[in-house]
Amino acid sequence: MQQGYLITGTDTNAGKTWATLALMQAFKRQGKTVVGMKPVASGCRIEGGKLKNEDALLLQAHASISVDYELINPYAYERPISPHLAGKDNPVDLALLKSRFLQLQALADIVLVEGAGGWYAPINAREDISDLALAFGLPVILAVAVKLGCINHAKLTAQAIASKGLRFAGWIAVCNDPDMVCAEDNVSTIQSALDAPLLGVIPYQPSADLNALHRFINLDAL
């Protein structure tokens, strides 16, 4: 059965890419074909004459099958600013993104869609990541950056997901602050507060093995 999830974050640099890679690897270990999608990305660089995003390239490299970059990342913007500003001359068209998503869905069992920024990060003058999730009709997995303020950020984002009528499928704690005090207690507090299962805790890693992130994920709750 083909399915997919949208991975959003409590903020920019919350750990969405690590969470998405971990999920891709975990699903592959279940014998499923998996592809990742980064519909919109800012802060891209020229590679082979085209703008490409580092996170999208990682998703491409970890897919079960070979997929053209343009399918994975239809909108690649050079300036490292919000997509609605970076893309003023080439604004995001949700209909085009939905078409590319459906193409990916036809190729694999699981499509994991990584958002940009947080849940309400604008992707054009009118729409944001939450609208993209609604257009794709995907359940949502939240990457929570375990840092000061994470409890509030996690609870607010969970409420915002519910307000869209989308299923909050689970969340992943990403420990990206080496100086965070009481990190485990914060994760426990969030776990008690959210009405969605904790799918894993990715510990702080100054130099992560991006090929072995699956070991921190438990898909049983999905």
| 171 token code pair | 């969340």
- Other CB atoms within a 10 A radius of the CB of residue 19 amount to 29
Q: Annotate 143-187 with three-state secondary structure.
A: EEECCCCHHHHHHHHHHHHHHCCCCEEEEEEECCCCCCCCHHHHH
Among residues 16, 38, 52, 147, which one is catalytic? 38
Residue 147 falls in the annotated catalytic set: no
Q: Kindly state the tokens that stand for 7.
A: 């991975």
Give the alpha-carbon dihedral of 66, 41, 91, 73, to 10 degrees: 0
Q: Order of strands, edge to edge, in the sheet holding 198-202?
A: 34-37, 110-118, 3-9, 140-145, 168-174, 198-202
Q: Where are the alpha helices (DSSP H) in 1-149?
A: 16-29, 54-61, 69-72, 83-86, 94-105, 129-136
Query: Amino acid letter at 159?
Result: Q
- Alpha-carbon Rg for the chain in angstroms: 16
Q: Which residues have a catalytic role annotated?
A: 38
